[in-house]
Structure 1
Amino acid sequence: MANPSMSKHIQVESHMSLSGSNADNRILVKPSEQGAAIANLYNFVASKTGGSAISAPNVNEKAKSALMKLADALVATKGKSLIVCGTNNTAEQSLVFGINQLLGNIGTTVNFTNGSYQRQGNEADLLQLTKDMSAGSVDAVLFWNANPCYDFPMAKEFAEGLAKVKLKVSLNAILDETTAQCTHAAPEHHNLESWGDVEPKRGMYSLIQPTITPIFNTRQGGQSLLVWSDSANFNKSAEQPFYEYLKSTWQSTIMPKTSSTNFQEFWDKSLHDGILEVNSTAVNAPSYKLNPADLVNNITKPSSSPLEISFIKNLGVGAVNMLIIHGYKKWLIQ
């Protein structure tokens, strides 16, 4: 065997997940014990790496024993491990960062040069938009692959605020709840009819290619934006305007990051390979002074209740996923 060594995956969770079902070891904690589990793991690692202990809440004995063994394994592989979390609690996120610091993972497995550009949504900004619309201080709003009148927790308040906006434009591919509230609808092509590109993480590019010609009277979303902005770099008279714009952009901004000199060869290879990775300028780890003791008061505390419930989001839920997986038929997700 060329590489007999394999990585080991240990999952700490409250419910069964796809990752947990494939983990080498799975440590069960109650939903209210997740913060305590992070704090206890921090202490166990700190005790073996010269760090200072914090006042961690208790976690169940079985999980505590498993977390101690996990700490031993992590310290034995300093600089080669990675701790991640799925919590929205910023104090718990900071403690996880602190564990990675203790293990010497910052700058090795925690890489700031090729950061992920996924999940960039900001719920606080959306909440502020809801308040601004309700106050009548928003004149225009544009939606693209977003249906907050359905899947935003404050959908009712959002829709009421949206009613006060004069210009409301939707680029959504279907007549969903938000589009129905808009003054203008400019539906874009389906994904299978579209050209486009994505950069899921810094330095990694991928091209979106259509597999069928457009069926309905729709238009590429990016093309609509270019037409409305009257972009000087956009040739509206071209047979496939957005396709030509995409190629031109790759020639002027992406190819110079590579050693290629012939654009047609570069373009054909990029289409063929599906993914293009280029070297990114190194980004140093930001200065981050962590005071773990100050974070303990803000982590989730274990509950004394004998009954706890954990709500999880189905992978098929969400505007884009619902369109692709369910054809936006609501009864299919119930």
Structure 2
Amino acid sequence: MNSNRMVVAQRGVIPPPKHYADSAWFKYILSCCAATTAEMVTYPLDLTKTRLQIQGEKGLNGNGIHHQPYRGLASTGVGIIREEGMLRLWQGVTPAVYRHLIYSGTRMVLYEKVRDHLFTRRADGTRPVWQAIVGGILVGGIAQFLASPADLIKVQMQMEGKRRLEGKPPRIHSAGEAFVKIYNAGGLRGLWKGCMPNVYRSAFVNLGDLTTYDSVKRYFVSSWGLSDNYWTHALSSACSGLVSAVLGCPADVVKARIMNQPTDIESKIPGTHKRGLLYRNSLDCLMKTIHNEGFWALYKGFIPCWLRMGPWSLTFWLTYEQIRNLSGTSAF
């Protein structure tokens, strides 16, 4: 009798455990942890890819228009280490991590919500691919729009080492300084410079990464009879990394050039923002790149892009699935 009263008393004092593992905020935290891990591991390839995409464009310096000498993947990476130091391979990693705290958390939570509540589920548990495509594009664009300022700061920080080697004055020394300078020069709108090519790129990359992973994984499990385990996750992420690179590389080139281009010093019209000296907008950058360097210039840096997206996707999905499993969260 007394033991029963103690149980009742304990039940009245101790609240029942909350089921937090499948909550949106907890999944958001898990996706940010996985994205940060993947970003730190593969960031040097991202910096190398950005340097490759910028080289070859017609630029302006004190002597007028000039062409930068071309370098390949290996020579670019070795050149950065030799000319700037090993740690420069992680220059700009801080805003890159900040970006994923917004981008990856938003896209993962939004996609899962859309998939589970709006997608049509077939009898075998699969969903129509076209719905996954639309969902991936939408959530990728929305997430990148929110994270675009951090991406802008990252790209400009990645190019600082190269500017100093060319004898140009440094523009920024830290992520905080970059944020303040960009805001003072163009206001809130200036923080979204290059936003549209960034949104387009992320929509396609998200289509390649998130949609491909989700669709391929479910196909392997339902049609091939594979278990939802480590090897299925690895195989699915390998497919998603390749598709992401193919779809996202052209928009990535345009995005990097728009974000890195110099601007005029003063605007003659009060209240207007600085104008780019090389490209008027994303379409102008796309057309000039093709006209001056050929169509395949849009795939500059494709190999490091693929080499980065592949390991990034592999690291992210394996980490994400494993920590979901360890935390008691249902599988993605």
Higher-strand-fraction structure: 1
> Which TM-score applies when normalising by structure 1?
0.20
Higher-helix-fraction structure: 2
> Which TM-score applies when normalising by structure 2?
0.20
Whose Rg is larger?
A: 1
